[in-house]
Structure 1
Amino acid sequence: MIAFTLLIALVGAERTAELVVARRNEAWAGRRGGVEYGRRHYPWIVAAQAGLLGGSLLEVWLLDRPFLPVLGWPMLGVAVLAQGLRWWCIATLGRRWNTRVIVIPSLPLVDAGPYRLLRHPNYVAVVAEGVALPLVHTCWLTALLFTVVNLGLLRTRVKTENAALRPAAGSAAAPD
């Protein structure tokens, strides 16, 4: 359980690093006329991510979930691969990456890196990690609850992001 707690702490530190990068990129985008979309759903995404980490810890400590090597090691591998994909997305988007949906109208869509293969690769990482991270230590309740909540949030998020990224030919979404 201690190793799992350290893993969750490391992921929490990684999330903090993401927020530092996001704040810096938000300021950069703002100086270039960036427009934020989806403000209303963003706090729910933050709460779900906190719930993933906190729920995993609570479940392992309060419900005494065991580490099952046949499940735990492969799930750790999936979680690590998800982190790699997430940081590949961050590196590819550079200053344009953010935890929020911020679009600089004058810039074209990015079609390099993982975006050559998928339209929303970061969300693939989020889904994979949301399932895998809790299952490293058999926290199946957290994995299930997070997945259900996250799929609803991602449905809204992807709709918002797709609308925000549409070319400005009269079909751009209004910020909320």
Structure 2
Amino acid sequence: MKIFLSILFLFIILQRLIELIIAKRNEQWMLAKGGVEIEPQQHKWFIMVHGLFFISIITELSLNNASIPALFPLWFGLFITTQFIRVWSITSLGKYWNTKIIILPGSTLVKRGPYKYIKHPNYLIVGIELFVIPMMFGAYWTAIIFPFFHLILMSMRIPAEEKALTSLND
């Protein structure tokens, strides 16, 4: 089971790295089409928090010599569910999905996929993941601390993004 957990952890890191590559490609496309990045200073905080998230899990597991949680099947099921919604959110935005706030003047808001039901589904999913992923590994302090950091980031990110998206309709 520990080998499975190691592979799962590496998979999650690889998934995030691939998403950064996709985001960079989408960023280049949007900027080439006249896109404008809004509040670029915010992005470094996201990179820092998400990088520290993985370091925190590794550190906590190393210090505590944690065992596999009894509720692992529940946490893993929730993780799989979040991945479907995560992919649905990202693919619904297509080339407009990014880890930065970039608007493309003249474009319209995406209102398909989960965006028909909620404004920021990916942010909700990330918040859930920041709790569920550490719980899968028994990193309980990380599960408490990082959703809190996510809420702080969202308190800055969502208003900035909403303001930028509103400008598309002006």
Give, as a single letter, the amino acid of the residue that structure 2 aligns with 1:112.
R
Q: TM-score, normalising length from structure 2? A: 0.93
Where does the alignment leave 5 or more consecutive residues of structure 1 unmatched? 171-176
Match of residue 140 from structure 2: 140
Match of residue 160 from structure 1: 160
Where does the alignment leave 5 or more consecutive residues of structure 2 unmatched? none
Structure 2 counterpart SS, 1:41: helix
Structure 1 residue 23 displacement after superposition: 0.9
Q: Provide the C-alpha distance between the structure 2 equivalents of 1:5 and 1:53, rounded to a whole number of angstroms.
A: 12
Per-residue CA deviations over 1:138-170 (Å, capped at 9, x if unaligned) read 211011111111110111111111111004566
**8 Å Cα contact 1:8-1:57 kept in structure 2:** no
Cα RMSD (Å): 1.4
Q: TM-score, normalising length from structure 1? A: 0.90
**8 Å Cα contact 1:5-1:57 kept in structure 2:** no
Q: Provide the C-alpha distance between the structure 2 equivalents of 1:75 and 1:55, rounded to a whole number of angstroms.
A: 18
Structure 1 counterpart SS, 2:41: coil
Q: Provide the C-alpha distance between the structure 1 equivalents of 2:161 and 2:11, rounded to a whole number of angstroms.
A: 29
Structure 1, 71-80 or 7-16: larger mean CA deviation: 71-80
Structure 2 counterpart SS, 1:166: helix
Per-residue CA deviations over 1:3-50 (Å, capped at 9, x if unaligned) read 323222111100111011111101110111101112111111111111
Q: Percent identity?
A: 30
Match of residue 23 from structure 2: 22
Q: Provide the C-alpha distance between the structure 2 equivalents of 1:169 and 1:88, rounded to a whole number of angstroms.
A: 25
- Say which structure is richer in helix: 2
* Matched pairs, number: 169
Q: How does 1:25-104 map onto structure 2 within 5 Å?
A: 25-69=26-70, 71-104=71-104
Q: Provide the C-alpha distance between the structure 2 equivalents of 1:36 and 1:139, rounded to a whole number of angstroms.
A: 35
Q: 1:113 to 1:36 in 2, by over 3 A?
A: same
Structure 2 counterpart SS, 1:159: helix
Structure 1 residue 101 displacement after superposition: 0.8
Give, as a single letter, the amino acid of the residue that structure 1 aligns with 2:22.
V
Match of residue 173 from structure 1: none
Q: Provide the C-alpha distance between the structure 2 equivalents of 1:37 and 1:169, rounded to a whole number of angstroms.
A: 16
**8 Å Cα contact 1:35-1:102 kept in structure 2:** yes
Match of residue 124 from structure 1: 124
Structure 1 residue 61 displacement after superposition: 2.1
